[in-house]
Amino acid sequence: MINLLDQDAAGLAAFFAELGEKPFRVKQVLHWVHQRFAGDIAAMTDLSKPLREKLAAAAEIRGPVVVSDTTAADGTRKWLLDVGGGNAVEAVFIPEDDRGTLCISSQAGCALDCGFCSTGKQGFNRNLTTAEIVGQLWHANRALLADGITAPWVEQGRAPITNVVMMGMGEPLANFDAVVRSLRVFLDDNAYGLSRRRVTLSTSGLVPAIDRLAEACPVALAVSLHAPTDALRDEIVPINRKYPLAELLAASRRYLERAPRDFVTFEYVMLDGVNDAPAQARALAELVRDVPCKFNLIPFNPFPGTEFATSPRPRILAFQKALTDAGYVATIRKTRGEDIDAACGQLAGRVLDKTRRRVVRIRPATPAPTAH
């Protein structure tokens, strides 16, 4: 039994070929599932009854199981979705005047262990399947429509979700195949039909996978930089020990040769007294000089047990000014859905850690000296 939410067009083509059905069925079924958000094969009324029966014997539409559904004072809405084995992940809807953005998770937990991230602190359980990733978008659209969402683009016949950011739980590039297959469904005109510019993947910097993404499906890229030097980034984004800044910046530059946007977004979480000094902003400006980019400064969102604090507002503004003075566009991310723990880095879900006791050291015990 296949789950139709698990398949991109190529997968469906193979499936229908096996059933001895014509290729145009792919388009029909994609429409039903991803544009009309059918929850059941029986609903596909332009398929003959015998075909629906044949299909129902081999396939199903199995959406996520919702554990909780919470709406914040600012309209941000968070779904906690069961992914089996005691694990649950979160998807967050962020409404704005001209768009509806969905922040999607790619893994149950995350193994990369950035110290300022609640997901990272949970540990890692497993990769999500394509059905579990696409299911977040399918479910959000469906739920928002069922609840009668009013938005100008919905009145014009578009789906409630106009933009997708892979910035929820997990490192998307560490779940490459399932994520790329999901991205293809997001972009497919017969499915969600989102333009590449409306789909953003955020990575902490898995360099070889950035190159592979450029080949496979170059959506808009956001890179979590967070520090201007290897010494500091090694501490707060441990994957830096494996792929240091010079390699990450070179990969970001290469990505733009294939990407739909002519810039990379560098995300920078503002941690009080750690990475937020004006001199660090100037070093950062220098560091990324060769990469066409924009900065997105993210005020740190605290979570229980964290040792970090949020940079005071004047410090964030001074950091932003240093970057704009150096000629960059730097925006400060608005914190949304804080009252329901739906802000960046607060997503915790429910993760049964399978890795903590056997964390792989990615660097020899004696670190090589670094000049700074």
Identify whether 90 is a catalytic site residue: yes
Residue 6 binding ligand SAH, by CB under 6 A: no
Phi, psi (degrees; rounded to nearest 5) at 344: -45, 130
Give first-to-last CA distance, the chain, whole Å: 57
Contact 87, 351 (CB under 8 A): yes
Place of tokens 């698990």: 6
- Of 212-271, which residues contact ligand SAH (CB under 6 A)? 224, 267, 269
Cβ-based nearer residue to ligand SAH, 76 or 204: 204
CA distance 13 to 302: 46
Residue 173 binding ligand SF4, by CB under 6 A: no
Contact 364, 331 (CB under 8 A): no
Residue 170 binding ligand SF4, by CB under 6 A: yes
Cβ-based nearer residue to ligand SF4, 6 or 171: 171
Cβ-based nearer residue to ligand SF4, 170 or 218: 170
SS3 category, 156:
coil
Residue 284 binding ligand SAH, by CB under 6 A: no
Cβ-based nearer residue to ligand SAH, 61 or 269: 269
CA distance 169 to 202: 11
Burial (Cβ within 10 Å: 0-12, 13-18, ≥19) of residue 48: exposed
Identify whether 114 is a catalytic site residue: no
Token digits of residue 222: 């956001």
Token digits of residue 129: 């399947």
Residue 116 binding ligand SAH, by CB under 6 A: yes
CA angle (136, 85, 344) in 5-degree steps: 45
CA distance 107 to 208: 19
Nearest residue (beta carbon) to ligand SAH: 345
Cβ-based nearer residue to ligand SF4, 6 or 113: 113
Question: Which span (111-119, 122-130, 277-285, 359-367) binds ligand SAH, by CB under 6 A?
Answer: 111-119
Question: Which span (14-22, 121-129, 138-146, 196-204) binds ligand SAH, by CB under 6 A?
Answer: 196-204
- Of 52-81, which residues contact ligand SAH (CB under 6 A)? none
Cβ-based nearer residue to ligand SF4, 228 or 238: 238
Min dist. Cβ of residue 281 to ligand SF4 (A): 21
How many CA within 13 A on the CB side of residue 44? 29
Q: Are strands 88-95 and 77-82 parallel, antiparallel or unpaired?
A: antiparallel
Token digits of residue 21: 């059905």
Query: Which is catalytic among the residues 103, 114, 117, 344?
Result: 344
Residue 116, amino acid: F
> What Cα–Cα distance (Å) separates residue 8 from each residue in 4, 34, 194?
9, 11, 14
Residue 252 binding ligand SF4, by CB under 6 A: no
Residue 204 binding ligand SAH, by CB under 6 A: yes
Member of 29, 137, 167, 251 binding ligand SAH (CB under 6 A): 167
SS3 category, 146:
helix
Give the contact letters, 187-226, x = binds to ligand SF4 (CB under 6 A), - = no.
-----------------x-------------------x--
Residue 171 binding ligand SAH, by CB under 6 A: yes
Contact 264, 214 (CB under 8 A): no
Query: Which is catalytic among the residues 18, 53, 90, 286?
Result: 90
Find which of ligand SAH, ligand SF4, none residue 90 binds, CB within 5 to 8 Å per kind: none
**Radius of gyration of the chain measured on its C-alpha atoms:** 21
Residue 337 binding ligand SF4, by CB under 6 A: no
Give the contact letters, 96-125, x = binds to ligand SF4 (CB under 6 A), - = no.
--------------x-xxx--x-xx-----
CA distance 178 to 107: 10
Min dist. Cβ of residue 345 to ligand SAH (A): 2
Contact 110, 339 (CB under 8 A): no
Active site residues: 90, 344
Binding site for ligand SF4 (CB under 6 A): 110, 112-114, 117, 119-120, 170-171, 204, 224
Binding site for ligand SAH (CB under 6 A): 114, 116-118, 167, 171, 202-204, 224, 267, 269, 298, 300-301, 344-345
